[in-house]
Amino acid sequence: PNILWSVACSVFVTVTYRSGGDGMWQALTLLFSLLPCALVQLTLLFVHRDFSRDRPLVLLLHLLQLGPLFRCFEVFCIYCQSGHVEEPYVSITKKRQMPKNGFSEEVEKEVGQAEGKLFTHRSAFSRASVIQAFLGSAPQLTLQLYISTLQQDVTVGRCLFMVLSLLSIVYGALRCNILAIKIKYDEYDVKVKPLAYVCIFLWRSFEIATRVIVLVLFTSVLKAWVVMVVLINFFSFFLYPWILFWCSGSPFPENIEKALSRVGTTIVLCFLTLLYAGINMFCWSAVQLKINNPDLISKSQNWYRLLVYYMLRFIENAFLLLMWYLYKTDIYMYVCAPLLILQLLIGYCTAILFMLVFYQFFHPCKKLFSSSVSEGFQEWLKCVCCDCRQQKSHESAGKTDLRSSEDRDETPSSSKISSLPSQILNTDELCSA
């Protein structure tokens, strides 16, 4: 559905640009719409392993960009037949319940072939929605907002397009959060509550909206420098998993797909790192890519990396807003720049607040955390207070040392002054003699 409405809206907006004579905006809109469609087709083929199967009709439908429609029809047929045909073979999965009073029960569940196929389709559509969100909707939203800023006009079609693009990005980020939770706690039966979805939605909405607005404002005044900002962000996140892989000294992963050669595996890994960089360009990815892991995903919860990301991103947003304020043009004549900067920074802090609320109260596996957010914050305050106390003790010790040295310097001078009257008396006695 995301792909269908994205293509429909992009075609409508492209027609308006063509009628207005804006050839460059028309080309960029089509590029950010068709490129993710092609990547989604490849993803669906890869997840369902159709490259190694003799299914020419399926390959043709994907080539014609009709793969998602065919997959939806296939899911509908499997769902309708699942309750009427008895399956001869079932697999048994074991999941552990969330601990209660320190104890966790293990529950067995039978999974049939139809349910397994439905799970595969659901996983494929989840990955396709993430690709559509961050390689299509995110640059599309940035482009349309930039055009609206330059033209100082927002049409109804473009406004609807931007709203749907923002919802697509937020949904993709939400899928990243759920995927990260299910991968890290694979042995547990994870159930996400509705309030957790609401909290994630608010967290991601504030984070992505403020990030896109900051990039658009900076681009509108410093078009040449935005290329450097984008390239630094992109290559930092693109090369980071590869640097960790090279430093680990692990062998090249060969178990991604049996039908793929080393070159094909390298292309798949590069595409994953490309998607990883695209996600982190706009928001926290939640899923940490680890090439030397058989699952390609790190299952450890790295709070330090999360803290560093949001600190650096906040500093970067503040710096970009400062540059916009210093070099803003006449198109922002009727905009209160300090108030807008304050609102954007508060909006980003609001996103961080919802993130902390999610991890503290609504995370489905918060009972498995070694320490909660509040406990970590209390430990951080204790460390800061201890550092302040040590610094004050060092300062007071330095002051006492200075006072003692001053007293030592004053002691001989006072003895010299006290000896002067005695010397004067001795000279008087000599004179009288």
Residue 72 CB partners (closer than 8 Å, separation 6+): none
For the chain, what is the mean pLDDT?
A: 80
Which pLDDT does position 290 carry in this prediction? 82
Phi, psi dihedrals of residue 155, rounded to the nearest 5°:
-80, 165
Phi, psi dihedrals of residue 52, rounded to the nearest 5°:
-100, 10
Which pLDDT does position 415 carry in this prediction? 43
Which pLDDT does position 140 carry in this prediction? 92
Higher local confidence (pLDDT), 418 or 200 = 200
**Mean pLDDT value of segment 161-177:** 92
Which pLDDT does position 185 carry in this prediction? 81
Token pair 């207070």 in the structure block, residue? 385
Which pLDDT does position 421 carry in this prediction? 45
Reported as a pLDDT band with limits 50, 70 and 90, residue 71 is: confident
Which pLDDT does position 430 carry in this prediction? 36
Choose the weakest-confidence range: 7-11, 151-155, 243-247: 7-11
Q: Which of 7-16, 169-178, 297-306 has the highest mean pLDDT?
A: 169-178
Token pair 């009727």 in the structure block, residue? 334
Q: How far are the Cα atoms of 51, 183, 184, 295, 335 from residue 299, in angstroms, in the given order?
A: 29, 7, 4, 9, 45
Which pLDDT does position 355 carry in this prediction? 93
Q: What is the pLDDT of residues 193-236, one digit of tens each?
A: 899 999 999 999 999 999 999 999 999 998 889 899 999 999 99
Q: How many whole angstroms from its chain centre is CA 299?
A: 16
- Is the pLDDT confidence value at 5 over 50? yes
Sign of the Cα torsion 293, 294, 297, 301 reads: negative
Query: Cα–Cα distance between 275 and 278 in angstroms, integer?
Result: 5
CB distance 181 to 190 below 8 Å = yes
Reported as a pLDDT band with limits 50, 70 and 90, residue 169 is: very high
Ramachandran region of residue 152, left (φ > 0), alpha (ψ -120 to 50) or beta?
A: left
Which pLDDT does position 431 carry in this prediction? 43
Q: Which of 1-10, 333-342, 414-423 has the highest mean pLDDT?
A: 333-342
CB distance 173 to 283 below 8 Å = yes
Higher local confidence (pLDDT), 242 or 111 = 242
Higher local confidence (pLDDT), 143 or 417 = 143
Q: What is the pLDDT of residues 258-297, one digit of tens each?
A: 666 677 778 888 888 998 999 999 999 888 888 877 677 7
What does the block give as tokens for 28? 């960029």
CB distance 189 to 109 below 8 Å = no
Query: Cα–Cα distance between 140 and 31 in angstroms, integer?
Result: 9
**Mean pLDDT value of segment 109-115:** 68
- Is the pLDDT confidence value at 419 over 50? no
- Is the pLDDT confidence value at 342 over 80? yes
Q: What is the pLDDT of residues 349-380, one digit of tens each?
A: 999 999 999 988 888 887 777 666 677 667 76
- Is the pLDDT confidence value at 324 over 90? yes
**Mean pLDDT value of segment 53-58:** 72
Which pLDDT does position 118 carry in this prediction? 76
